[in-house]
Amino acid sequence: MALKGLDIFKLTPKKNCKDCGFPTCLAFSMKVASGAVEIGKCPHMSAESIEKLSEATAPLMKTITVGKGDNEYKLGGETVLFRHEKTFVNRNRFAVIFSEDMENSEVDAKIQHIKDVKYVRIGEEMKTEFVALKYISDKDKYVSLINKVKSSGLEVAYILVCEDVPVMKEALELIKDENPIAYGANKDNFKEMVDLVKNDNIALGVKADSLEDLYTLTEEIQKLDYKNLILDPGSKSVKETFENTVQIRRINLQGQDRTFGYPSILFLNELAKGDKFQEVALSTLFTMKYGSILVLNDMDYCRALPLYGIRQNIFTDPQKPMKVEVGLYSLNNANDASPVLCTVDFALTYFVVSGEIERSKVPAWVVIPDAGGYSVLTSWAAGKFTGSVIADAVKKSGVEEKTKSRTLIIPGKVAVLKGELEEELPGWNITVGTSEAMYIPKFLKELVANS
Ligand code: SF4
């Protein structure tokens, strides 16, 4: 059970020295009890007290780190059941499954899809983060598959899916430098599996036939003093998987039971039974309901566009507006004759508008004022995207020294600001742009052709 602030306070040095950043040891203890601060922030705590408190005050769900270098990912570490309570912490990751019984052409096609689907949306790179390599029965072919995928140039982290201990041992030798996940601990092999992964602290995927069995097995593995785990809630049916996934999170966070305090892996490729539309629908569901790694059959653009979009929405902190930096942006190598556009600092708006300007290939400057991180109409209605705000941003941006053009294009949705801006920016030609970003390329090309 979680400790109360006073329990923690009894173990502090009671110096009230403020070295932890809090005015008193009691204030610090209350923050530790709420999970907002780690006990290690007090440099004067005795080793004995730290040992007593570390486990009891640790987050209810562990954060597991897997992969290496640019392909290192944190999983789990969640603190709430619902996104409206507080932001979710570590976004779910997508994996594509490979197995040694696949034809070479299928393996090659999946590798190519993973390479092809890589793009930036609202400042975040979207790509397949994991490949799951599944062992069926032929060890030599499995080893060949691992070598083939590893040498394919994919930038991913790895999941070895294998319940055969000797085969897993051999597979790990090939890939353990990549800090993979070794998935396949069950009630019969878990001791050998823990022995295999313990020295390198490799994350161990745990599976069982039922929720109760998974709980018992996880307890058994914890008794072996191994807690670098990822739990599989099962993939027999959508109903059971959904119930199990929700129960695991509830038991962990509401029941404050650390036995289920681990990230999860869900084999949606098995649940969807080859139906790619079902796979996308299930991925959407389990992005919201607690899948840490979602394993799919493939990742092409048809799957990626809806899935990465919803993931970005779910894992964005609702308390923080998604903003880009205020200032001046040069697009398509803007020069001293390029027109100037203005839009708001809401990240989604900026990236959509800048994407369309880039698509037009017309060199242009973009001025971004501080509009509160809202969309065009919302910030205008809130009085944060007014003529004086835009004029001020234009003057401070220094764009008047960068271009001789005095054409300022404002969003069509705030055409009403034209008159005010003409008064605020004498000498500028205020032009009302398009109401929808998709029409920007045509608009800009015509503007340049007529100038
Ligand atoms: S650093 Fe430690 S001793 Fe000092 S005020 Fe904070 S909790 Fe108390």
- Residue whose CA is at the smallest distance from ligand 1 atom 8: 25
Whether 1 shows a pLDDT value over 60: the answer reads no
- Residue whose CA is at the smallest distance from ligand 1 atom 3: 15
More confident residue, 260 or 83: 260
**Using a 6 Å cutoff on CB, does residue 19 contact ligand 1?**
yes
CA–CA separation, 100 vs 78, rounded Å? 34
CA–CA separation, 150 vs 136, rounded Å? 19
* DSSP label of 371: -
- Residue whose CA is at the smallest distance from ligand 1 atom 4: 17
Structure tokens at 279: 């796979």
With the most atoms of ligand 1 within 8 angstroms of its CB, the residue from 8, 11, 14, 15 to mutate is: 15
Q: How many CA atoms lie within 13 A of 445 on its CB side?
A: 10
User: Domain ends where: 263, 289, 314?
Assistant: 314
Index of the ligand 1 atom closest to the CA of residue 15: 3
Residue entry with tokens 């930096």: 325
Domain that holds residue 10: 5-57
**Using a 6 Å cutoff on CB, does residue 236 contact ligand 1?**
no
**Using a 6 Å cutoff on CB, does residue 9 contact ligand 1?**
no
| 156 shares a domain with 50 | no
| 375 shares a domain with 251 | no
**Using a 6 Å cutoff on CB, does residue 152 contact ligand 1?**
no
| 273 shares a domain with 185 | yes
Q: What is the distance in A from the centroid of ligand 1 to the CA of 30? A: 12
| 271 shares a domain with 225 | yes
| 276 shares a domain with 407 | no
pLDDT band for 117, please (50, 70, 90 cuts): very high
CATH of the domain at 189: 3.20.20.20
**Using a 6 Å cutoff on CB, does residue 39 contact ligand 1?**
no
Judge whether 319 lies within some domain: no
Q: What is the distance in A from the centroid of ligand 1 to the CA of 9? A: 10
- Angle of helix 190-198 relative to helix 165-175, nearest 10 degrees? 20
| 348 shares a domain with 290 | no
CATH of the domain at 437: 3.40.50.11600
Q: What is the distance in A from the centroid of ligand 1 to the CA of 60? A: 24
Index of the ligand 1 atom closest to the CA of residue 45: 2
As a whole number, mean pLDDT of residues 253-257 equals: 91
Judge whether 322 lies within some domain: no
Sign of CA dihedral 385, 386, 392, 393: positive
Q: What is the distance in A from the centroid of ligand 1 to the CA of 45? A: 8
Nearest to 229 by CA among 256, 199, 265: 265
Contact 410, 342 (CB under 8 A): yes
Judge whether 167 lies within some domain: yes
Judge whether 168 lies within some domain: yes
| 236 shares a domain with 103 | yes
Whether 413 shows a pLDDT value over 70: the answer reads yes
**Using a 6 Å cutoff on CB, does residue 20 contact ligand 1?**
yes
Q: Please give, one letter per residue, the 3-state secondary structure of 164-227.
A: CHHHHHHHHHHHHHHCCEEEEECCCCHHHHHHHHHCCCCEEEECCCCHHHHHHHHHHHHHCCCC
**Using a 6 Å cutoff on CB, does residue 22 contact ligand 1?**
yes
pLDDT band for 59, please (50, 70, 90 cuts): confident
Index of the ligand 1 atom closest to the CA of residue 25: 8
**Using a 6 Å cutoff on CB, does residue 49 contact ligand 1?**
no
Whether 55 shows a pLDDT value over 80: the answer reads no
**Using a 6 Å cutoff on CB, does residue 16 contact ligand 1?**
yes
| 232 shares a domain with 158 | yes
As a whole number, mean pLDDT of residues 41-51 equals: 87
Judge whether 434 lies within some domain: yes
- Residue whose CA is at the smallest distance from ligand 1 atom 7: 25
Q: What is the distance in A from the centroid of ligand 1 to the CA of 254? A: 30
CA–CA separation, 116 vs 94, rounded Å? 15
**Using a 6 Å cutoff on CB, does residue 15 contact ligand 1?**
yes
Q: ∠209-213-217 over CA atoms, to 5°?
A: 115
Q: ∠246-247-251 over CA atoms, to 5°?
A: 125
H helices within 103-181, ranges in order?
A: 104-116, 139-150, 165-175
pLDDT in tens, 142-191: 999 999 999 999 999 999 999 999 999 999 999 999 999 999 999 999 99
Residue-level pLDDT at 86: 81
Residue-level pLDDT at 2: 60
**Using a 6 Å cutoff on CB, does residue 44 contact ligand 1?**
yes
Q: What is the distance in A from the centroid of ligand 1 to the CA of 87? A: 29
Judge whether 336 lies within some domain: yes
Q: What is the distance in A from the centroid of ligand 1 to the CA of 48? A: 16
- Residue whose CA is at the smallest distance from ligand 1 atom 2: 42
CATH of the domain at 50: 1.10.15.40
Q: What is the per-residue DSSP string for 269-331?
A: HHHHTT-HHHHHHHHHHHHHTT-SEEEES---HHHHHHHHHHHHHHTS-TTS--BPPSEEEEE
CA–CA separation, 299 vs 304, rounded Å? 6
| 213 shares a domain with 98 | yes
Q: What is the distance in A from the centroid of ligand 1 to the CA of 23? A: 8
pLDDT in tens, 269-308: 999 999 999 999 999 999 999 999 999 999 999 999 999 9
Residue-level pLDDT at 334: 96
With the most atoms of ligand 1 within 8 angstroms of its CB, the residue from 6, 8, 14, 18 to mutate is: 18
Whether 319 shows a pLDDT value over 80: the answer reads no
| 175 shares a domain with 52 | no
Which residues neighbour 350 within 8 Å (Cβ) at sequence distance 6 or greater? Answer: 324, 343, 344, 366, 368
In what helix (H) or strand (E) does residue 430 lie, and over which residues does it extend? strand 429-432
- Angle of helix 47-57 relative to helix 25-34, nearest 10 degrees? 30
| 35 shares a domain with 94 | no
Judge whether 320 lies within some domain: no
Q: What is the distance in A from the centroid of ligand 1 to the CA of 257? A: 29
- Residue whose CA is at the smallest distance from ligand 1 atom 6: 20
Q: What is the distance in A from the centroid of ligand 1 to the CA of 12? A: 7
User: Domain ends where: 287, 314, 341?
Assistant: 314
CA–CA separation, 339 vs 323, rounded Å? 23
As a whole number, mean pLDDT of residues 87-99 equals: 95
pLDDT band for 50, please (50, 70, 90 cuts): confident
pTM of the model: 0.78
Judge whether 153 lies within some domain: yes
| Strand order across the 327-331 sheet | 327-331, 364-368, 340-342, 407-410, 429-432
Contact 185, 194 (CB under 8 A): yes
User: Domain ends where: 293, 314, 335?
Assistant: 314
Structure tokens at 26: 């009691």
Q: What is the distance in A from the centroid of ligand 1 to the CA of 44? A: 7
User: In the chain, how many domains are there?
Assistant: 3
| 132 shares a domain with 45 | no
- Provide the mean pLDDT of the chain: 93
pLDDT band for 340, please (50, 70, 90 cuts): very high
Residue entry with tokens 């009302």: 432
